[in-house]
Structure 1
Amino acid sequence: MQDIIPFLIFYMIIISQRIVELFIARHNENWMKKKGAIEFGSNHYRYIVLMHILFFISFFFEKIFLNRALSPLWPLILFLFIIIQLVRVWAISSLGRYWNTKIIVLANAKVIKRGPYRYIKHPNYFVVSIEFIVIPILFSAYITAIIFTIVNVIVLSIRIPEEERALQKLTEYDSVFQHCSRFLPILLNKCDK
């Protein structure tokens, strides 16, 4: 367990990051709701929160109690983690006050089509999906990686359609992105700036 100190530092950085994001989300939620924004998907939001809490508990216990070692590929995995964090910051800053952990939509708000949103439909969900693999694998917590990757796919199969419906209902989401291919940006991207 010689890697316990790096693990605890890494773990606390991630937890601190999530706490900061929750404060940002709460601030943005209050601002949007004062402007008349509507929340969607509140019935499943608690399960998303529970999934994230259980992920961090599982990761911690698998590392500590199953004595998981730092991956031999840790420099590469840590580099990937850092790149993913840059995408996270890019996604959050691109949405600005409209970014949230909840589905909160302001009717007739301008649809954001900059930053990573030009290239991929839901970059924040992409980041979380990669994190559910990369974070545990960094410390060889393979059980956590497998279980929460599967759970995340199930949760996102509910969450993403709900968010798409909310955006379609209250904004010009469909018309703004009708000519965009946001899957392989280099090869297929047709979005205007």
Structure 2
Amino acid sequence: MVSYTILVLAVGLERVAELVVALRNARWSFARGGREFGRGHYPVMVVLHTALLAGCLAEAWHRPFLPWLGWPMLVLAVAAQGLRWWCIRTLGPQWNTRIIVVPGLPLVSGGPYRWFAHPNYVAVVVEGFALPLVHTAWITALTFTVLNAALLTVRIRAENAALRIAAA
């Protein structure tokens, strides 16, 4: 359980690092005329992602570590982090946790964006079930997955609309 707690806390620290990058990138975007979209769902996203980490820790106290499930889920959770940071690196200053579009900038089509329209959300989905299942926290995995699917429906719709407006 100690190792799992360290893992979840490390993911939490990774989230803090993302927020630092996002704040820096938001300043960059706004300085270039960036416009924010989809503000209404952002607080829900913050609460949901925070609840994922809290749920992992709370539920794991009552669950066993099952090696046949935990090790493959750990590989997926680590791979999700790799994909997330590949997205961040590929988008550079255009990456953000918020939807901020700078008019006139071309859409990024390199890196993982060659294969997926929204690769960062692939990472979020994979992490959302894999991280809890590392320590058999199946209720957290299921709850996050269902709620995140609803949130991503709203978020991707808002992001696509923002990109269409910016391209016009």
TM-score computed with the length of structure 1 as normaliser: 0.83
1:75 CA displacement: 2.4
Contact 2:5 2:57 in 1 (8 A): no
Structure of higher RCO (CA pairs closer than 8 Å, 6+ residues apart):
2
| Structure 1: segments with no counterpart, 5+ residues | 173-193
CA distance in 1, matches of 2:153, 2:5: 32
Return the match for 1:46 from 36, 43, 54: 43
Moved over 6 A (4+): none
* 1:69 aligned onto 2:90: no
1:81 CA displacement: 1.9
The residue aligned with 1:151 is 147
Contact 1:71 1:137 in 2 (8 A): no
Amino acid at match of 1:147: T
1:132 CA displacement: 0.7
Contact 2:73 2:130 in 1 (8 A): yes
1:133-163: CA deviation from partner (whole Å, max 9, x where unpaired): 0000000000000111000000011110110
1:71 CA displacement: 2.5
CA distance in 2, matches of 1:54, 1:83: 21
RMSD: 1.1
Equivalent position SS for 1:39: strand
1:171 CA displacement: 2.2
CA distance in 2, matches of 1:91, 1:146: 25
CA distance in 1, matches of 2:148, 2:56: 15
Return the match for 1:17 from 8, 11, 14: 14
**Percent identity (aligned):** 34
The residue aligned with 2:54 is 57
Return the match for 1:82 from 78, 84, 88: 78
CA distance in 1, matches of 2:103, 2:66: 47
The residue aligned with 1:189 is none
Contact 1:69 1:139 in 2 (8 A): yes
Alignment coverage as a number of residue pairs: 167
Higher helix share: 2
* 1:95 aligned onto 2:91: yes
1:89 CA displacement: 1.3
CA distance in 2, matches of 1:16, 1:53: 12
Equivalent position SS for 1:100: coil
* 1:120 aligned onto 2:116: yes
The residue aligned with 1:178 is none
Contact 1:81 1:131 in 2 (8 A): yes
Equivalent position SS for 2:117: coil
Return the match for 2:101 from 98, 105, 113: 105
Equivalent position SS for 2:67: coil
Amino acid at match of 2:118: H
